[in-house]
Amino acid sequence: MNLGLGIDTGGTYTHAAIVDFESGSVISRANSLTTRGDLYIGIAESIGKLEGVDLKSVRLVSLSSTLATNSIVEGKGFRVGLMMVGGEYNKTIPVDEVVEIEGGHNLSGEEAQPLDMKKAREFIVAVKDKVDSFAISSFLSVRNPSHEFELKRIVQEECDHPVICGHELSSKLGLYERTITAVLNARLIPIIADLVISMKKGLLDRGIDAPLMIVKGDGSLMGEEMARQRPVETILSGPAASLIGAKFLTGLNDAVVIDVGGTTTDIGILRGGKPRLDPEGAMIGGWRTRVKAADISTSGIGGDSRIIVNRGAIILAPQRVIPLCIASSMFPSLRQRLEEARNENERSVPGFIALESILQTTEFFIFSRESKGMSLTDEEARFIELIREGPRSVQDACRSIGINPYALNLRKLEERGLVQRIGLTPTDVLHVDGSYREYDLEASRIGVEVQAEAAGISVDQFCNEAKEMVIRKIAKELVHKLIYEETGKTTTCDTSEHIYDMMISQTPGIDATFVLKLNKKIIGIGAPVGVYLPPIANMLHTELVIPEHPGIGNAVGAITGSIVETVEALIRPNDGFATVVDPPCKLFTSEETREFASLEEAVCYAVSWGSEVSRQRALQAGAEGVEVIVDRADDVFSMGKDMTGGLLIDTKVTITAVGKPRLFFEEKGR
């Protein structure tokens, strides 16, 4: 059999799926909890749970993950030294050492000022023991990358640190965006390297010897070596894989895909069988990058979202916590502590306090990792020591310490990843009402009973209200996504928000009822979509399609994607020749700047160069049967209907090589 193994390491679960390439069917699937402290454990467990297949028949393995995205948000990774050439350093860019160097080019690719190589070398020598990698970003390097090439050469002479240049990751204008992309790439190198190592160890231990591919943010695949060099391209890998998986599992080329996971809900659009990409580049952690990625709307709504009760009101918060049912399966002592929570009468909450700081009697904390290099107060250190033995409530721990529970800075400990919170979640609610059961039902039942009593309502009413809150939040995010797709605007006002709420609640107004009809079908990906999405499809008057295996859409997408490598060339007419037919011009690529006597000559060269470069990159990434697609776009300024011709602003030639991953036995000649 010709089998493919897809793995998705999400924020909560690690999913595995075996696809038979010959029949195009999913023949085995499994999942385990993602083990953030050691990803190998979750990966090996998910593979080990696959039944009814000979893993030695696996010919290709592909991996998608939210690891890069989460690491950027959490500020993890290498220490980075940034060399900023011909521009000012923006202090919001997360680097450890930085230097501003004279140099850079203009729009014509001509040197704006000489490169200060002496200052650059002095900086490299001074900080090479203080950083782990270097990022280089030069003004208008997309018009002429020579200064970035020169600095990269100097870095490689002085040390063996990884080094990345802005123009190697993007051919688009935007110094800030290229700089942040290069810095994040340099920071992510050890993160993705550890993921690849964990994955390969998991495969080896299960007797799988096959090529490993990684899903990029646009849903295409790349080889593991390229992923190590360009890890920033794996941001939004998981959500992009869900779009590819949705298409494969349903056969639909045009649809809205809603992926309800443990940590987030991701909404994307399929058009013509491809994910709609963000034309400006992915936005991650508040930073606009130049990474080509699917335009995904991500919100903190998932099975692990925190449900709290404050002064009788039920609140669905975006914080991720470990569901009670899962935690009780991991820590048998938790059930007894939950029973004790019934007798916790203290429900007073300070008048002014952040939502994430409100304490609940049904919440507990466990130790996550050591506080290396982090300063802790005596109370914080004692709290961490107390929870090393197992889950404890803040109230219980603080009684032992002798302090008020609200005097402890839990928010800091959580943000630094030192502790993890256990609490009531939508997953627990689904366990109680019978919609979904996989872990400890009794722990979920106790938690819901305690919180329902605090809210002054029945258990059934509590479950219904909690589910309705999830449904409405997902629906609201979907409406915002649809309006953005239509208008390109993200800003709203009180009036528009009121109309959105009326659409979602389907509440008649005084004189009008607002109705929104979706022109595409909705594809649901994720285990709980059968509960949450039918009401949303009804309110938007469209059809909901739930594939046979909705919980493994990401893993299926990982193994069914294609390898896509794209390069661009920009051609601009020389000054004074914009109105001339076939004018002399200048060509700009990521490798060189070159003069040509005519536009057509430049285009022919660009197609030849781009076809070879994109093809070789695709082959290097592990593709076979590579097809090259050329697209030419002339940007012409019209001279008006009373004048002939127009001004040629520029010509962009985009060359794309597409191929399927080369399978193991073909690679080995078997």
Decide if pLDDT at 114 tops 60.
yes
499/618 same-domain check: no
Tell me what pLDDT residue 645 has: 58
Q: Alpha-carbon distance 476 to 497, whole Å? A: 9
**DSSP string covering 561-581:** --EEEEEEEEEEEPTT-TTSS
- Mean pLDDT across the stretch 227-237? 89
Residue 581 lies in a domain: yes
Residue type for position 201 = K
Decide if pLDDT at 295 tops 50.
yes
Q: Alpha-carbon distance 545 to 617, whole Å? A: 37
669 pLDDT band, cuts 50/70/90, is very low
329/427 same-domain check: yes
Our count of domains for the chain comes to 4
- Mean pLDDT across the stretch 48-77? 85
Residue 431 lies in a domain: yes
Domain span holding position 497: 464-552
Tell me what pLDDT residue 621 has: 80
Decide if pLDDT at 491 tops 60.
yes
Percentage of the chain lying above the pLDDT 70 cut: 95
Structure-token pair, residue 549: 């295996």
- Mean pLDDT across the stretch 70-77? 74
SS (H, E, C) 414-432: HHCCCEEEEECCHHHHHHH
Residue 488 lies in a domain: yes
Residue type for position 608 = S
- Mean pLDDT across the stretch 27-56? 89
450/506 same-domain check: no
Q: Alpha-carbon distance 330 to 422, whole Å? A: 11
Nearest to 192, CA basis, from 219, 223, 170: 223
Residue 380, H or E segment:
helix 378-387
Environment class of 88 (CB within 10 Å of its CB; exposed 0-12, middle 13-18, buried 19+): exposed
494/393 same-domain check: no
Nearest to 326, CA basis, from 447, 188, 211: 447
Among 198-212, 442-456, 492-506, the range scoring the smallest mean pLDDT is 492-506
Tell me what pLDDT residue 502 has: 86
CB 540 within 8 A of CB 517: yes
- Mean pLDDT across the stretch 234-260? 92
Residues contacting residue 197 through CB under 8 Å, at least 6 positions apart: none
Q: Which of 513, 533, 552 is the last residue of a domain?
A: 552
401/516 same-domain check: no
Residues contacting residue 213 through CB under 8 Å, at least 6 positions apart: 60, 61, 62, 63, 221, 222, 223, 224, 558, 561, 563, 621, 622, 661
Residue 288, H or E segment:
strand 287-288
Residue 89 lies in a domain: yes
Nearest to 62, CA basis, from 260, 275, 205, 208: 208
Among 212-226, 281-295, 456-470, 537-551, the range scoring the smallest mean pLDDT is 281-295
Structure-token pair, residue 621: 């990434």
Environment class of 346 (CB within 10 Å of its CB; exposed 0-12, middle 13-18, buried 19+): exposed
Residue type for position 149 = F
372/504 same-domain check: no
Residue type for position 212 = L
Q: Could you give the angle at the alpha carbon of 332 between the alpha carbons of 331 and 334, nearest 5°? A: 75
Structure-token pair, residue 94: 């997360």
Decide if pLDDT at 21 tops 90.
no
pLDDT tens digits, 621-664: 888 889 999 999 988 876 555 545 578 888 999 999 999 887 65
Residue type for position 202 = G
Torsion of CA 317, 321, 325, 331, to 10 degrees: -150
Residues contacting residue 640 through CB under 8 Å, at least 6 positions apart: none
How many alpha carbons fall within 13 Å on the CB side of residue 283? Answer: 8
311/400 same-domain check: yes
Which one is predicted more confidently, 337 or 280?
Answer: 337
| Residue 282 CB coordination number (10 Å) | 25
Q: Which of 161, 176, 195 is the last residue of a domain?
A: 161
Decide if pLDDT at 274 tops 60.
yes
Residue 231 lies in a domain: no
CB 291 within 8 A of CB 181: yes
Tell me what pLDDT residue 430 has: 96
Between β-strands 133-138 and 163-165, what pairing exists: parallel, antiparallel or unpaired? parallel
Q: Alpha-carbon distance 662 to 211, whole Å? A: 8
440/338 same-domain check: yes
Tell me what pLDDT residue 668 has: 44
Decide if pLDDT at 600 tops 90.
yes
pLDDT tens digits, 126-162: 999 999 999 999 999 988 999 999 999 999 999 999 9
Between β-strands 287-288 and 585-588, what pairing exists: parallel, antiparallel or unpaired? unpaired
Which one is predicted more confidently, 668 or 361?
Answer: 361
Residue 257: helix, strand or coil by DSSP?
strand
439/366 same-domain check: yes
Residue 495 lies in a domain: yes
Tell me what pLDDT residue 373 has: 62
Q: Which of 494, 521, 552 is the last residue of a domain?
A: 552
436/360 same-domain check: yes
- Mean pLDDT across the stretch 395-414? 85
pLDDT tens digits, 309-357: 988 899 998 888 999 999 999 899 999 999 888 877 655 566 567 777 7
Between β-strands 97-101 and 80-85, what pairing exists: parallel, antiparallel or unpaired? parallel
Residue 466: helix, strand or coil by DSSP?
helix
447/469 same-domain check: no
Q: Could you give the angle at the alpha carbon of 544 between the alpha carbons of 542 and 549, nearest 5°? A: 165
Residue 345 lies in a domain: yes
666 pLDDT band, cuts 50/70/90, is very low
Decide if pLDDT at 618 tops 80.
yes
- Mean pLDDT across the stretch 480-489? 86
326/394 same-domain check: yes
Residue 375 lies in a domain: yes
